[in-house]
């Protein structure tokens, strides 16, 4: 007997990350889609946490 289980496909989420090189911390976020708006939200999140008191190199990637 073959049994199939129904499930809802929700798709994948985008994982965005920013690496604070000076403090060796990774700040991350998940979004439904990639693009400029999710990237800007991640940058705002990192900046609002005080991760950039001086000119600190940050590495952003997705």
pLDDT one-digit tens code per residue, 47-57: 787 655 555 56
Q: What's the CA gap between 9 and 7, in Å, rounded?
A: 6
pLDDT digits (tens, 9 = 90+) for 13-60: 888 888 777 778 888 888 888 888 988 888 888 878 765 555 556 666
pTM: 0.57
Provide φ and ψ at 44, rounded to 5°: -60, -40
Predicted confidence at residue 52, as pLDDT, reads: 56
């Amino acid at each position: 007997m073959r049994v199939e289980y129904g499930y809802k496909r929700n798709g994948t989420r985008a994982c965005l990350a920013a690496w604070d090189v000076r403090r060796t911390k990774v700040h991350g976020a998940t979004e439904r889609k990639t693009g400029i708006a999710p990237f800007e939200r991640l940058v705002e999140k990192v900046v609002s946490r005080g991760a950039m008191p001086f000119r600190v190199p940050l590495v952003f990637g997705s």
